Amino acid sequence: MALYDVIVVGVGSMGAAACYYLAKGGTKVLGIEQFSIPHENGSHAGQSRIIRKAYFEHPDYVPLLERAYHNWKQLEAEAGTQLYFPTGLLYAGKPDGVLMKGVKESAKQYNINIEKVKHSESKSRFPTFTIPEDFEILFEPAAGFLIPERCILSFTELAIKAGATIHTQEQLVSWKQEGSVISVQTSKQHYRCKKLIVTTGAWTSDVLPVLRQQLSVTRQVITWGIPQQWEEFTLGNFPCWLIDDAQQPGMYYGFPILPASKIGGPIGLKAAYHYPGKPTDANHVDRTITPTEETELVKSVKQYIPTGFNSIHLSKTCLYTNTPDENFIIDFLPNNNNVIVAAGFSGHGFKFASVVGEVLSELALKGETTMPIGFLNSTRFK
């Protein structure tokens, strides 16, 4: 029976990146994915993911983001394809709200370039937006979006070229520490490894029941619409945006229309609501989207972008895996330094995949990382 240095369970956003960094370093690595790579059942589908640096969630993420930006660039060069699109990001919200306060704090602490936009200037610079007069407007020029499916494919392809073994349509069923080796049973085979990395996203509680209390999975809805004037909203003419809604606890966000011929579908202007949705179980997700869910989202977005959603083209579901404080968990398993988990990305993790993969590889091979991930430890909830 084959003995691997490292087995990575879940070759999605974080797992594909971990396989890449491990294989590049010459490690004998096996990646096991229950579906195809990529797929639409987890957390990474849907064409685009925002990347930004003035991190309102917590300034401690900024050093990780610096490294993430660096690593995405390196991946682009190695894969020979564009993964990151610098559109800039428009932020709006009440000046003392969680978004605007957090952005200003991170920008100040880490000297991140953020432009303050006056309402008079916003009307000419961002004519398709209607921002309430009591909202503050900021713009982060170096922010933009990543194409998640292409990122995951690039990591996986380069991992395989560097010697990784990647199995798809194979599910981890159980694992067990047996002396110095971990025994892994999948739906197809039995393997052994020295280190196990668990990057199973919304299925993490099934693989590591010890984390069940800390992880809750929610069903999120994303909608693509057709605007009144197509060109006003296309890539190059329209930024990514994030607006802290005054009436509700979450934030609305969106992207420009991406050229289907270059990037693939879905077609149209994408928008969504960043707030934990209906609780669900990753194995039993209701993928049917009700007309009310679509119309409520579009009605809210139209307050800020009145002509963006003349009609709805398509809606899809996606999964968040939330921790109680909405910060990630990246750590060894309590009482087992041979098992490493990266989970609970709480709807804002994709942009970090390039640094998380590197960190996971270091934790598996060296038992430590130089990246400041202490605040993401798994024991903080006790």
* Comparison of 120 and 215: residue with beta carbon closer to ligand FAD: 215
Site for ligand FAD in 334-353 (CB under 6 A): 343, 345, 347-351
Is 370 in a helix, a strand, or coil? coil
Shortest gap between Cβ of 381 and ligand FAD (angstroms)?
A: 18
Minimum CB separation from ligand FAD for residue 38, in Å? 7
Q: Residue 147, interface with ligand FAD (CB under 6 A)?
A: no
For residue 97, state whether it binds ligand FAD (rule: CB under 6 A). no
Q: Is residue 273 part of the contact set for ligand FAD (CB under 6 A)?
A: no
Helical (H) or strand (E) element with 65 = helix 62-79
Measured CA to CA in angstroms, residue 126 lies from 39, 170, 268, 313 at distances of 34, 47, 19, 24
CB-based burial of residue 49 (10 Å sphere; 0-12 exposed, 13-18 middle, 19+ buried)?
A: buried
Q: Say whether residue 220 binds ligand FAD (CB under 6 A).
A: yes
Walk across the sheet containing 144-146 and list its strands: 49-51, 144-146, 84-85
185, 204, 186, 183: which is closest to 194 by C-alpha? 183
Nearer to ligand FAD, 129 or 255 (CB): 255
- Distance between CA atoms of residues 272 and 77, nearest Å: 31
Q: Whole-number minimum distance, CB 311 to ligand FAD, in Å?
A: 21
Pair of tokens at residue 355: 């640094």
Does 280 engage in binding with ligand FAD (CB under 6 A)?
A: no
Interface stretch with ligand FAD, choices 35-43, 106-114, 136-144, 292-300 (CB under 6 A): 35-43
Binding segment (CB under 6 A) for ligand FAD, from list 19-27, 43-51, 134-142, 302-310: 43-51
Number of residues that bind ligand FAD (CB under 6 A): 36
Residue 68 in the binding site for ligand FAD (CB under 6 A): no
Which one, 128 or 321, has the nearer CB to ligand FAD?
321
Among 93, 102, 144, 201, binds ligand FAD (CB under 6 A): 201
Tokens of 127: 């004519």
Nearer residue to ligand FAD within complex by CB, 114 or 198: 198
Which strand (E) or helix (H) includes residue 36?
Answer: none
**The dihedral sign for the CA sequence 42, 3, 6, 379:** positive
Contact status: 106 vs ligand FAD (CB under 6 A) = no
- From CA 327, how far away is CA 191, in angstroms rounded? 32
The contact set with ligand FAD (CB under 6 A) reads 9-10, 12-15, 32-35, 42-44, 46, 49-50, 171-172, 199-201, 203, 207, 220, 222, 272, 318-320, 343, 345, 347-351
